[in-house]
Amino acid sequence: MERVVITGMGTVNPLGLTVEASWKSAIHGVSGVGPITLFDPAALNVHFAAEVKGFEPDRYMDPKEARRRDRFEQLGAAAAKEAVASSGLEVTEANSGRIGVLVSSAIGGLKSLQDAVLTNYTEGPRRVSPFLIPMLMPNGAAGMIAIDYQIKGPCFSVASACSSGADGIGTALLMLKAGMIDAALAGAAEMTICPVGVAAFDRIGAMSRRNDDYSMTPQPFDKNRDGLVMGEGAAVLVLETESHAKRRGANILAELAGYGATSDAYHVTAPHENGTGGAAAIRMALDSAKATVDDLGYINAHGTATQLNDQSETRAVKAAFGEKAYQIPISSTKSMTGHMMGATGALEAIFCVQAVRQGILPPTIHYETPDPECDLDYIPNEAREKKIDLALSNAFGFGGHNAVLAIRKYS
């Protein structure tokens, strides 16, 4: 069966507007968290988030088109533009049906929906935008990217909460291996930093409320962690079969070697306390990559900084690897990017590509006080130089969704 390789990457996120800028910030431990500026949060319990800074949609698309797109779709288009340009992939009439677009979103255009509901009640239904449906539907980013590049192969969005981006990439991997397509744009886009989004996640007790001093927030795996910080952004990878990439002389960045997906079937928001579902997905990803724990050099953790998630994920890694779990470097880059919901898994896959290419493992910043329940090697506060051949990216979502990607150094 054909190998699947990564030939292009693009992102806009709280650490930067390109892959290079984002990676530089990540390995230097830069925090993307700051005060909410997208709206006035005074009436809410949470006043800070990880926003994309300096994003100007008109740099990536026609201004008229930008006004017809929700912000998550704008972010997705920007990430796709960098990914396609960096890959050198050309879409033609002859090959467009053999290329897919699997750009996911957990929630879709939440802000557009929120604003439309308010407009409907304050100004009447005739004032609701005729573009509302394409602005709010979770597959909106995928559909608009397909239109932008005239890609006519499979085009859809996977919705599996915080696992959406990883599941979209994993689904593309399976389609490529099955011979359904030769190439794909895969990833995710998300923007939930709006009053209803912040209020909703706060109401379920998932968010940190350190409004007076969030300089050390979030704190994944730290004993004093008190919840996630909401983020926004998008990340897209160009995936190809190895033979297709070689035929066109593409620069191959890494191999997408494996994918595992399971369900806890336990609770609508909480992960199973013992981490068995996550462990099963980890083992599945390694098995599909034809690898063992001895090949593994790094795990980019889901690491949301909620009490239960970090405990459960630690137990999942231990359940998968036993005593060898203590020898594997692990970090949560959400300590810097915040939680970009469905898009985070796609960005973290990019960070894994960079780690295997450059031999640098990004840190978990804000780590101060060890937690006896979270006692693995979380690469505290400073990046670590280490040559590795294989990395895993964990993405565990509300509803018990577990997705794990295996990324291998290409040779």
Catalytic residues: 162, 302, 339
Joined together, the tokens standing for residue 239 give 């995936």
> Strand runs (DSSP E) across 15-70, as ranges?
34-35, 48-49
Residues contacting residue 31 through CB under 8 Å, at least 6 positions apart: 215, 335, 336, 365, 366
Q: Are 409 and 389 in contact (CB under 8 A)?
A: yes
End-to-end CA distance of the chain: 17
The residue assigned the tokens 């990046």 is: 383
| Residue 263 burial by Cβ neighbours in a 10 Å radius (0-12, 13-18, 19+) | middle
Task: Provide φ and ψ at 373, rounded to 5°.
Answer: -80, -15
Radius of gyration of the chain (CA): 20
Which among 294, 361, 303 has a CA at the least distance from the CA of 324?
294
